A and B are shown apart, each in its own frame.
Chain A
Amino acid sequence: MSKTINLKLRVWRQASPEQAGKFEDYDAKGISTDASFLEMLDVVNDELERHDIDPIAFDHDCREGICGSCGAVVNGCAHGPESATTLCQLHMRKFKDGDVVIIEPWRANGFPIIKDLVVDRGAFDRIIQAGGYVSIRTGQAPDAHAIPIPKPAADKAMDAAQCIGCGACVAACPNASASLFTAAKINQLALLPQGHPERNRRVVAMVEQMDKEGFGSCSKHYECEAACPKEIKVENITAMNREYRRALIARD
């Protein structure tokens, strides 16, 4: 049943990349437990705007858990306390009246803060640019049924392909590693015949780019899997490491 609750928010406010940030406290009053976390922030923001205070900046778009725009560390957890759930799909019924809610941006070298909860995730695009694709031009494709793909391989590729690129894996990792993100794409394409011609080049280039972007390395804490709203498995990282070794041997 829906009811309303009051919360104390401690929110990271940072005006720009150059300026220092700090926590500010806000009251979130009369919040329906049926509201989503972002709707709670909307209520707070509308009130701030009415009082001529700059609203809390946060990225969001689909609000359906699929675009990967949203994300913040809530009480120490990337995307908040509910597993397999993006921040936009987290609902206020998971909170109790009077709770203190601490809200921070993703913190990682690879993700510079732009403002408040908004970070620059451009590094993810650059990792994909390094090789996260099949080099086929429009018009070159054979009939879709020319290559049958065993269902188990197609299903596993789909499991990996579900990554929404939100960055929670990086935020949750003690080393701020982007391994899970990078591995999911590499593994999706390694599982499919379409990805094979370029697999060696791809894995080397993407791993190098990931390192260049200032992300840490994976030391198998597996916090990433726990934080991932799409439940991408750490097996992908093992597979990526295998691909990488394979590629280096092939190169030698």
Chain B
Amino acid sequence: MAIATDYWKIAESAGLDSKIPSGPIGQKWTKHKFDMKLVNPANKRKFKVIVVGTGLAGASAAATMSELGYKVKAFCFQDSPRRAHSIAAQGGINAAKNYQNDGDSVYRLFYDTVKGGDYRSREANVHRLAEVSVNIIDQCVAQGVPFAREYGGYLANRSFGGAQVSRTFYARGQTGQQLLLGAYSALMKEVASGGVEMFPRREMLDLIVVDGRACGIVVRNLVTGQLETHTADAVCLATGGYGNVFYLSTNAKGSNVTAAWRAHKRGAYFANPCYTQIHPTCIPVHGDFQSKLTLMSESLRNDGRVWVPKKPGDTRPAHEIPEADRNYYLETKYPSFGNLVPRDVASRNAKDVCDAGNGVGATGLAVYLDFTDAIKRDGMSVIEAKYGNLFQMYERITDDNPYKTPMMIYPAVHYTMGGLWVDYNLMSNLPGLHVLGEANFSDHGANRLGASALMQGLADGYFVIPYTIGDYLAKAGPSGVTPDHPEAKKVEAEVKQRIDTFIHMTGKRAVNDFHRELGLLMWDECGMARNEEGLKKALKRIPELREEFWQDVNVTGSPGTLNQCLERAGRVADFLEFAELMCTDALHRSESCGGHFREESQTDEGEAKRKDDEFCYAAAWQYNGVGETPTLHKEALEFENVKLTQRSYK
């Protein structure tokens, strides 16, 4: 049971109002849209909204709010909004269109998502997500997104990530790219119309809160080094996930926790930080120089068979290992789902077989994904048409030809379900601060289903925030804060101070040295499997490492120019603080659920075992200072529609 300890405090009263509308699940959103206040069209022009992040969530939000008439300022750290991390998504986007007539519906997508999240998400949010999913596809097609089509000219679908229906829309292996370019084009249209002012190469370094209301940000212009203060009537963060706390992940190199963490330090609660998704099909680590891990699309598991040698330490090449000596462990253990079990299950099983010594490859931390049978069954050309691009990418990175030798894969950090706490309106506990996309915690519970992040980002940006922001602005009115407000000045001065401190750091170690060490620690103690002892070890080590960082890091160059060393130092410093909260959350949640596997809490068969009577809540953490015990606020999760069961994929 989560009682106060040396590691955390518990809030007397939760004080979290999720603002879930009343009424039956299927009517909540419709009712809410009617109940919300509207801003008169002539007044919309008077409201300013800041959007930080222009990935799927931020670009769609900024464009749509501008179309409605709000004055939008949008920020990203890349040189162009077209390069946000969303661009890397390969597999697809879900929508309950039921174009395949195979039994899909809004309710089924809702149900699957709640179940897939291991019953740790909010029913009302997930239902809304499933409802608007159908509008997303319409919108994207109208923008000219070239989704895959069949010969009849209609859209193609595939089954993805173990779903029993084919509801995933895709554009070759580049769905994220095409969706982002669609949202980017809408954003560029609004830049051209004057509704959006775009600020690329800016990094948000702090949030301005005046009288409890978020109303501005401080950013660093990454080209000139100048600090800039921007104020508005509302702030939306769409800054993505924090997977890079592990150093190695499938995320883009620039992905960071900085924006969310600075907002947290200004009062926004951080929810479920320990919920991270480890993707089962990634190219294994092959050296200390490694800077990132590459995802091999999940779709490969539709045709590839996962196996390891039965005998630990079997070093024979794959083709010399006879059938009898192979262990197709997923097919044996989960006869009805086989190789298509959800990500968390597939990842954990790969870890188990490797921990038992059956792993393959130079490091023993890999399993085979074998297409030999698929090629025999369907022919080379069919497999090539389906996966040609992926096979080529694999060969380019590893120098191995997957048509001839089985691929080697291993799980890698991929997505973070945790994020800033938001209510049904996507507003954090700090009035005025809204959080969208991967940066919030809302829809995926403890595990995200494949092809659902793109859906969520675009749902938040195109179809949710444009409504809920109006309700907030209509009620709150203009903030009246300008950049010369004393609080804005104070925040800017604090940011400047911090940058000066960095620039004066003249230690011996490179920023990456610390990031790598932190990443490894997090992977070992707060990765695919966690236990009390390991987490406590990490909680002891992280503050020491942070101390060492502030003693011994070297930050080169000057603050007044493009300075990538300084940028990295700032991000790593934030990860070093954030990691502690992540481990604390993992320690407090002594149940297993979804991607959070506590070794102490498993079924007799070794599967994740939830403790619904103790942990059926979202854990929202309040910041109390660096290294200080954080305070836990619990948002109880109520399930009125979906019955909580032990997930089983046998």
Contacts and interface: CB of A to CB of B under 8 A. Distances in A.
Interface of A: 2, 15-16, 31-32, 34-36, 38-40, 42-43, 45-50, 52-55, 57, 59-69, 85, 89, 91, 93, 114-115, 118, 120-122, 124-125, 128-130, 132-145, 147-151, 154-155, 157-158, 161-162, 164-165, 188-189, 192, 194-195
B508 interface: yes
Query: Most chain-B CB neighbours within 10 Å: which of A91, A121, A141?
Result: A141
7 closest cross-chain pairs (CB), A and B? A148-B153, A133-B185, A141-B142, A141-B138, A158-B146, A49-B510, A46-B510
A2 B398 CA distance: 10
B223 interface: yes
B227 interface: no
A136 B80 CA distance: 22
A79 B155 CA distance: 35
A205 to B, nearest CB: 9
A93 B399 contact: yes
Given A115-B562, A144-B137, A145-B154, A194 B554 contact: no
A130 B192 contact: yes
9 contacts: A2-B287, A16-B561, A34-B399, A50-B554, A54-B557, A59-B79, A61-B83, A133-B188, A136-B139
Contacts of A147: 141
A138 B139 contact: yes
A129 B561 contact: no
B506 interface: yes
B318 interface: no
B135 A141 contact: yes
A162 B174 contact: yes
Contacts of B252: 61-63, 67
B192 A129 contact: yes
Contacts of B188: 125, 128-129, 132-133
B379 interface: no
A121 B506 CA distance: 33
Interface in B501-529: 506, 508-513
A46 B513 contact: yes
Interface residues of B, number: 85
Given A49-B554, A142-B142, 10 more contacts: A31-B289, A46-B513, A55-B556, A67-B84, A121-B79, A125-B200, A128-B185, A151-B151, A155-B146, A189-B144
Contact of B564 (A57, A136, A143): A57
B66 to A, nearest CB: 10
Interface in B107-165: 135, 137-144, 146-155
B291 A63 contact: yes
A16 to B, nearest CB: 6
Contacts of A45: 510
A45 B466 CA distance: 43
B463 interface: yes
Contacts of B272: none
A3 to B, nearest CB: 11
Nearest to B557: A54
Interface string B249-279: 0001110000000000000000000000000
Contacts, number: 228
B358 interface: no
Nearest to B83: A67
Contacts of A34: 286-287, 398-399
B462 interface: yes
A158 B564 CA distance: 34
A115 B189 CA distance: 30
A59 B222 CA distance: 12
Interface string B157-195: 000000000000001101001100100111011011000
Contacts of B287: 2, 32, 34-35
B36 interface: no
Contacts of B67: 137-138
A200 B81 CA distance: 26
B87 interface: yes
Contact of B172 (A93, A130, A158, A192): A158
A157 B83 CA distance: 20
B546 interface: no
Nearest to A46: B510
Contacts of B509: 50
Contact of A85 (B85, B178, B396): B396
B79 to A, nearest CB: 6
B139 A55 contact: no
A16 B64 CA distance: 36
A125 B187 CA distance: 10
A110 B511 CA distance: 33
B149 A151 contact: yes
Contacts of A31: 289
A129 B149 contact: no
Contacts of B562: 16, 57, 114-115, 118
A135 B189 contact: yes
Contacts of A142: 138, 142
B88 A138 contact: no
B556 A114 contact: no
A55 B562 CA distance: 11
B78 interface: yes
Nearest to B145: A161
Given A67-B83, A148-B154, A151-B151, A133 B506 contact: no
B295 to A, nearest CB: 8
Interface in B179-222: 181, 184-186, 188-189, 191-192, 198, 200
A159 to B, nearest CB: 9
Given A63-B252, A64-B88, A134 B185 contact: yes
B192 A42 contact: no
A55 B146 contact: no
B99 interface: yes
Contacts of B253: 60-63
Contacts of B139: 136, 138-139, 141
